[in-house]
Amino acid sequence: MDLSNLNPFSSSDHRETGHLKMDKPDTSRRLDEMQQGVISKSLNRPDGPLKVSGTARYAAEAEADDMATGVLVGAIIPKGRVVSIDEDAAMKMPGVLGVFHGKKLLRNPAQGTANQAPIQPDGEVSYMGQPVALVVAESFEQARDAAITLAITYEEDDDGVFDPKIAEKEKPDGKQIDQGDFDAAMRDAAATVDSRYTTPVQSSAPMEPHASVAQWNGDQLTLHGSYQMLNYNKNELADSLGIDVKNVRILAPYVGGGFGSKLGIAPEAVAAALAAKALERPVRVAMSRRTVFETTMRRSETSQRVQLAADKTGKLLGLAHHASVSNLPDEGFTEPVAAATHFLYGGGSRRFTYEVARLNRSCAGSVRAPGEAVGMLALESAMDELAHELDIDPIELRVRNMPEKHPESDIPYSARNFEDCLRQGAKRFGWADRRPVPASRREGDWWIGVGVAGAARSNILGESKALVTLNADGTALVETDMTDIGTGTYTILAQIAAEMLGLPLEKVTVSLGDSELPEGPGSGGSWGAQSSGSSVYLACEAIRTKVAKALGCAAEDLTLKDGIATGGNNRKPLADLLDGPIAQEGHIEPGATMENFDQAGYGAHFAEVAVNAITGETRVRRMLGVFAAGRILNAQTARSQCHGGMIWGIGGALHEELHHDTRDGHMVNGDLAEYHVPVNLDVPQLDVLFIHQRDDHANPIQAKGIGELGISGAGAAITNAIFNATGVRVRDYPATLDKILPYLPD
């Protein structure tokens, strides 16, 4: 039976149409009924051999005939404008093809969201290092040498602002909350905490630098780029160039890390496209490591005041979280520091305030786990302080303060296993052996302590489309513009399709990272797996319905396994059943379940540290992360994501700190030699435990985001362990030895 041209079903049932809007919980849990046995298993990545052998082609490695190379030139003033650029000397140098500049090049990076176009400041220089020109030559070396000699005249303003401590603050609309009588709660409480925590500027620092290769064919632009969200990036690039989005194609099949820095179009893409158009030949622009640090998204520094008021049993009466962050003038993004504080713990009286310092530093935006990564360093440290003040076990304090409903919106939680994470983690970690009195365990020159912190990250479903084609030869193709930034997208989408269609994993091919494919949600906000995975699932459900019709059985009676269809007393290989391919688009949309239920992933971090009594050096000896994140689609890739988040937590607690000179805002340590991230010797053996969870409100495959959950709260477990080891409370992150050594016990 030829099913290639079947008309779409008229029924609104998503099993026939492939389209679902999540207006109500999907309780079918169909993945649990499938028989292929590949979902949730620890399976290797199909793209792994390509990456380890060096044959996976990243953006800068795209090939084109007659390729030229460009080098960006950064501003040497912190605020002002370019008056003139003398191109003559540069153009006379060997191999130089052109110097490009102008208003289209002078722009800040986009955030990578549907409603936020990039700020284009009409020729103004907003920060030191901002790209103001591009020099293109036959070779990189020629372009680099010419860029160094480029003579640029600036008009510098004298009103630049570089220090957040003295900058004027704005209070963004919609972020200020005052519920109940918080002042009375603090006044009448049996115990209070009122502490200020600071975190420094951080960088995404992905391994692969930002790079783009631009090539024009008439009015059609093809850009090989390292980007996370092609659905939005094509619009941002078209907007920047002033062309129709239909003329833009972006290819990003492999992305060597992003962590938020590649959410939106960055300067090298715009510059490469402009130069390629003018020169009528392909142009490659790859940022240097220094340029990546200077011009892509940074995480804002924060100053946070957390106030807790509790009765003698530890029950919170009041909770307040104040955050001071920064960004460029006119940029709309505000680091959502209190994101998890809003829903994780109760307390009837609540106060949340934000203020934004407008600085002439590089643009602040989303870095992995925006909000929670730095906000939970403060919140979970404050909860540890309160537990110590009341002499209550830190786990018990958290359990006593888990609200029945969202404490501000009063909507129910969808699925929450926070207590399970804490309890099972405590048993696995050996929490019962903890010595609650600080500085009571010493081994030679080392003080030993343990700490715990909660983890939470809001769960988001993004609109996503995917095209799945089941071929008569028992192979399948999955197509979507979704990206894989090292998180395992190729793997989990193949697993979902293989499980639903009853095929061995090697029979499924996944095509990603092409903006001409059906629009996925992109890799950001930990929404990629559940969103793109749901669209693949829906497409497969519709295909299964068509296969069942061909076999002569009801869809719910169909079993697909190893390329064999069984149902209604019939059993046939797909090769005998189908005369042609079946292609079906799956389409998932968020709906009322996101509005009517508070959805999040939960977890708990446990850490044991050793602090040297002589030097103040801290070493993390062991670490456990316990997570409830819905259905785990691939245990191996999920564990890898958690490892990455926990390692980032180690970095936030002990290492990472980006410095800006407060005289002119220039970045002091913008490279991987001086911006310290954890290396192998800093990271102990990490243990990860997943809690079984099915959240029918989240999406039809019951999966949740996990990449950013792994970082949330991780660093606080380490600094809480430092306190348990030494009695030293570090509130100014990172906890470098100079903040510990002067206060160590004798």
Q: Cite the active site residues.
A: 708
**Residues whose CB is less than 8 angstroms from the CB of residue 50 and which lie 6 or more positions away in sequence, other chains included:** 56, 254
Cis previous bond, 131, omega within 30: no
Dihedral sign for Cα 133, 138, 140, 142, please: negative
Interatomic CA distance for residues 31 and 536, integer angstroms: 12
The tokens describing 540, both together, are 């497969």
Contact 665, 739 (CB under 8 A): no
DSSP one-letter string for 401-451: T--SB-TTT-PBBS---HHHHHHHHHHHHTGGG---STT--EETTEEEEEE
Residue 604: which of 479, 469, 420, 472 has the closest Cα? 420
Interatomic CA distance for residues 594 and 588, integer angstroms: 13
**DSSP state, 584?**
E
First to last CA, the chain: 83
Interatomic CA distance for residues 255 and 240, integer angstroms: 22
User: 427: how many CB neighbours lie within 10 A of its CB?
Assistant: 12
DSSP one-letter string for 355-400: EEEE-SSSPB---SSTTHHHHHHHHHHHHHHHHHHHT--HHHHHHH
Interatomic CA distance for residues 228 and 512, integer angstroms: 11
Residue 630: which of 460, 427, 412 has the closest Cα? 460
Local structure of 610: helix, strand or coil: strand
Contact 367, 299 (CB under 8 A): yes
Contact 533, 468 (CB under 8 A): no
H helices of 280-353, in order, are: 289-295, 341-344
Place of tokens 């980032």: 648
Beta strand 559-561 with 564-567: parallel, antiparallel or unpaired? Answer: antiparallel
Residue 156: which of 120, 124, 130 has the closest Cα? 124
**Residues whose CB is less than 8 angstroms from the CB of residue 338 and which lie 6 or more positions away in sequence, other chains included:** 321, 323, 352, 354, 371, 375, 379
- Three state DSSP letters for 497-549: HHHHHCCCHHHEEEECCECCCCCCCCCCCCCHHHHHHHHHHHHHHHHHHHHHH
Contact 430, 622 (CB under 8 A): no
Contact 212, 223 (CB under 8 A): yes
- 593, 682, 688 from 651: Cα distances, Å: 36, 9, 18
Local structure of 471: helix, strand or coil: coil
- Based on the number of CB atoms within 10 Å of its own CB, is 366 exposed (0-12), middle (13-18) or buried (19 or more)? buried
- Return contacts of 342-345, CB within 8 angstroms, 24+ apart: 342/406, 342/407, 342/408, 343/403, 343/406, 343/407, 343/408, 343/413, 343/456, 343/458, 343/598, 343/600, 344/379, 344/418, 344/454, 344/456, 345/316, 345/319, 345/383, 345/398, 345/401, 345/402, 345/403, 345/407
The tokens describing 616, both together, are 């103040």
Q: Which residues of 236-273 are buried (b: 16+ CB within 10 A; e: fewer)?
A: bbbbbbebeeebbbbbbbbbbbbbbbbbbbbbbbbbbb
**DSSP state, 60?**
G
